[in-house]
Amino acid sequence: MAVWPLARFPAREVMRGSGVNIAIDRQSDVPLYQQIVRQIRQLITSGSLTGGFRLPPERRLAQTLGVNRSTILNAYRELKANGWLEARVGRGTSVVPAAARRTDPHHERTDGQEIGWRQLFRERFVGSEDAVLRDLLGLSEREDTIPLAMGLPAPDHLPLDTYAELMSEVITDLGPRSLLHSPTEGVTSLREALCEWAAEREIPCEVTEVQVVSGSQQGLDMAARVFLDPGDVVVVEEPTYIGALQTFRDAGARLIGVPTDAHGMRTDLLEAILQRRRPKFIYTLPTFQNPSGVVMPLERRRHLLELAGRYQVPVLEDDPYADLRYDGEPLPALKALDSDNLVLYLSTISKVLFPGLRLGWLIAPPSVRQQFTLVKQGMDLHSSTPGQFLLERYLRRGFHREYLASIRREYECRRDVMHRALSRQDIPGLSWNRPSGGFYFWCALPEGTDRARLLARSAEEGVSFLPGWACFVQDPGRSHIRLNFAYPGVEQIEVGVARLLKAVRYAVRSRQRASPATTSTPPVV
């Protein structure tokens, strides 16, 4: 099973595929391909599948079960390796007749079951917490699914030619240096270019304050490593970026959520938290927030910084979308207003250029930047050398400014298309923002929408979204979903939203038909 960045759906599905009954349990710790291996093996040993039985082609079974093709590939491969299945050109995959079967179970790879791997894993076991945080893209990978889920830029507009040209230029100009090790802080000339980038946004920045990171996810992870001991408190907005929740939780942090409204973090509620708890830092996405799309106004920015200064709590400002404004005037970043030098500023090229390059940057006071550097040295020595040289030239030559101007117009158009598509419906209780920048519509679903049915029906209809309830420290009760309008094309947006609304209608109706939910707490015995 390909574990893609972010979230798989927590649903138990039983599906019928070409005569093979296989139940997929996505909540289980057993990998999907292993679940399939075990069940096919069981079907063979029980005699349900007999020698010569032809299994469905990998692609078809994958579609039927709603899993990646590689999952089926892996399952078939293991069953072949262990002598249960065989493949012949032109005949597909079939069950090996019992007489021809290797029967010694000791020859079977048992995936580490001899040794108690689980007892060797560390106590704060990663796999235990984030079933929701896995494999969101399992669905998005399916060709018949319209992906509104992921936080990706438009693939059809990426400046690929510029990339190819600059890359061969870098190799020619710099020779071996472009492919050898580079400093842990980042290539110096890129750090200088990033200072210029920051200066254009009125963020004061010296080269010594810049740390290049392998995407902003690594920046978050480094922040956790520099600051967090288990039990430390971190303040986050609710909702917030799902990957940050995962990383801070994984570091053993206790998360305190500050509610948000249409203007972002409710800073009026922040002071009480800072008084009672002593957080290591406040994590915020003030501009075109993920997932809600909202922008924190100037007064709240000032208030947040004032509180941070008064209580001497650093602010980790995550700012990947700032350059993607479609309406109105830009607001200064928190870092640009930061007279107390309390803000750690994180940004990335993943939302405006090439997410696959894994490049971002952190701006922090030198003594903190130095800690990030030491931590990064133990993590991966440094980020990709050729990618850094490429990004430097891309920024310096003005390609970035040029590309931003054109992609903003494109995204503005896509946003308006999604807004119109959502407006063309009549579902009472469905509401959404119309974001002035960034990637996301944040839709509040009608009260009583059945989440499980919505997920299942959306998968059937062929549309994916980010379940908003995964973006909270604690489930808020009310259900939201996040829709990306930047990645899909105009036609995909229209069809995708239509499919989604169909699924929502179904999930609302079905809940209303069901008897009203009675809540009761079973005794824990």
- Interface with a second copy includes 199 (CB under 8 A)? no
The smaller minimum CB distance to a second copy, of residues 410 and 416, is found at 410
Closest contact distance (angstroms) between CB of 310 and a second copy is: 12
| Binding residue (CB under 8 A) for a second copy from 314, 320, 438, 462 | 314
- Interface with a second copy includes 217 (CB under 8 A)? yes
Residue with tokens 């997410």: 355
Write out the binding residues for a second copy, residues 351-370 only, by CB under 8 A: 354-358, 365-368, 370
Beta carbons within 8 Å of 330's beta carbon, 6+ residues apart? 322
CA distance 196 to 398: 12
Question: Would you state the structure tokens that stand for residue 238, as one six-digit string?
Answer: 């609710």
Which one of 38-46, 184-192, 474-482, 496-504 is the stretch in contact with a second copy (CB under 8 A)?
Answer: 184-192
Write out the binding residues for a second copy, residues 322-341 only, by CB under 8 A: 340-341
For 384, the 3-state DSSP assignment is coil
For 492, the 3-state DSSP assignment is helix
CA distance 163 to 317: 29
Write out the binding residues for a second copy, residues 486-515 only, by CB under 8 A: none
- Interface with a second copy includes 267 (CB under 8 A)? no
Helix axis angle, 32-45 relative to 69-81, nearest 10°? 50
- Interface with a second copy includes 392 (CB under 8 A)? no
Which one of 41-49, 166-174, 323-331, 467-475 is the stretch in contact with a second copy (CB under 8 A)?
Answer: 166-174
The smaller minimum CB distance to a second copy, of residues 346 and 504, is found at 346
- Interface with a second copy includes 346 (CB under 8 A)? no
Closest contact distance (angstroms) between CB of 464 and a second copy is: 14
- Interface with a second copy includes 383 (CB under 8 A)? yes
Question: Would you state the structure tokens that stand for residue 454, as one six-digit string?
Answer: 């919505």
Which one of 55-63, 258-266, 381-389, 401-409 is the stretch in contact with a second copy (CB under 8 A)?
Answer: 381-389
- Interface with a second copy includes 127 (CB under 8 A)? yes
Site string for a second copy, 275-294 (x = CB under 8 A): -----xx-------------
Beta carbons within 8 Å of 382's beta carbon, 6+ residues apart? 181, 182, 183, 184, 186, 212, 376
With contacts defined by CB under 8 A, how many residues of the chain interact with a second copy?
Answer: 108
Closest contact distance (angstroms) between CB of 150 and a second copy is: 8
Closest Cα to residue 318, out of 288, 292, 276?
288
Question: Would you state the structure tokens that stand for residue 154, as one six-digit string?
Answer: 């438009």
CA distance 188 to 177: 13
Write out the binding residues for a second copy, residues 35-94 only, by CB under 8 A: 70, 73-74, 77-78, 81
Q: What is the 3-state secondary structure (H, E, C) of 281-334?
A: EEEECCCCCCCCCCCCCHHHHHHHHHHHHHHCCCEEEECCCCCCECCCCCCCCH
Question: Would you state the structure tokens that stand for residue 330, as one six-digit string?
Answer: 């830009």
Q: How far is CA 250 from CA 129, 217, 231, 276, in A?
A: 9, 13, 11, 23
Q: CA angle, 325 as apex, 321 and 328 as ends, to 5°? A: 145
- Interface with a second copy includes 109 (CB under 8 A)? yes
Closest contact distance (angstroms) between CB of 144 and a second copy is: 18
Closest contact distance (angstroms) between CB of 290 and a second copy is: 14
